[in-house]
Amino acid sequence: MATGADQHIDEETTEKYAMGKLSARVAAQIEEHLLLCGRCRQSLAACDAYIAAMGLAAAKLRRAGHKPMSSVAR
């Protein structure tokens, strides 16, 4: 997570922020950083686009009758 204007938000925190999975306090810190940091705003925009694309792909699969995977093989 970013702690100053010269540090950037890591990918995991960006994803959690985009999915609304951070506490209000941490989200506020992220939002403050985003006001100052174009690089992190671009990273968030890319993350938002990816999440939206995955949502559309999942909806398309559901409409085609595919069942969700119950687990992912590792």
In a domain, 70, yes or no: no
In a domain, 73, yes or no: no
Neighbouring CB atoms inside 10 A of 9's CB total: 24
In a domain, 27, yes or no: yes
In a domain, 74, yes or no: no
| Structural domain boundaries enclosing 27 | 11-63
In a domain, 71, yes or no: no
Q: Check pLDDT > 80 for residue 26.
A: yes
In a domain, 6, yes or no: no
Residue 66 pLDDT class (50, 70, 90 cuts): confident
Q: Check pLDDT > 80 for residue 17.
A: yes
Task: Count the domains in the chain.
Answer: 1
- The predicted model gives 36-56 an average pLDDT of 96
Summary mean pLDDT of the chain: 88
Q: What is the pLDDT of residue 65?
A: 84
In a domain, 5, yes or no: no
In a domain, 72, yes or no: no
User: What is the pTM assigned to this prediction?
Assistant: 0.76
